[in-house]
Amino acid sequence: MPNIILTRIDNRLIHGQVATQWSGAIGINLILVANDDVANNPMRQGLMDMAAPSYATTRYWTIEKTINTIHKASDAQKIFIIADNPQDVLKLVEGGVPIKRLNVGNMHMSDGKRQVATSVAVDDADIEAFTKLRDLGVEIFIQRVPDIAKEDASVLFKK
């Protein structure tokens, strides 16, 4: 079974907070960005590689490749999965990726979304995905960085 330390939703994917705070705090050595667009965009991958910590390997896989490949991971790989949105995380879980803990970090405000936490804006599709993830037994928490308090995650399930 893959050694998934944490999964995070962050529309910025790999950036300063992920590289300098989360990766070190949770003790990972592999950052896996599960995102169909980034998996096929070498320029974005290169930019994220520049932000990634030097002690961690980076992988950029589609949702499908993540589902089909993650079970081949070595026990020595301490994996930090980063996804763009809750729908992609739900696809991973429904596809058999053993995600137990989900950190909701940054979900930016956009048309049709409403702010529910400091750095989290959701729409009805997001709420539906979060609800299904919770019902599948995934522990969900909102926390921007590891050294601040978690915010109330119940806001992720209210329409």
| Residues contacting 10, CB < 8 A, separation 6+ | 17, 18, 82, 84, 105, 106
Q: What is the pTM of this model?
A: 0.96
Give the closest residue to 31 by CA, choosing from 63, 55, 12: 55
- In terms of Cβ atoms closer than 10 Å to its own Cβ (0-12, 13-18, 19+), residue 118 is exposed
Residue 52 has pLDDT above 90, yes or no: yes
pLDDT at 159 over 90: no
DSSP 27: T
3-state secondary structure of 44: helix
What is the model's pLDDT at position 18? Answer: 80
pLDDT, residue 29, reads: 97
Q: What is the pLDDT of residues 87-142, one digit of tens each?
A: 999 999 999 999 999 999 999 999 999 999 999 999 999 999 999 999 999 999 99
Tokens of 154: 């119940």
Q: Which residues contact 123 (CB under 8 A, 6 or more apart)?
A: 112, 113, 114
Known catalytic residue at 71: no
Q: From residue 78, how far is each of 18, 73, 114, 131 by CA, in Å?
A: 15, 9, 34, 27
**Of residues 3, 11, 12, 15, which has the active-site annotation?**
15
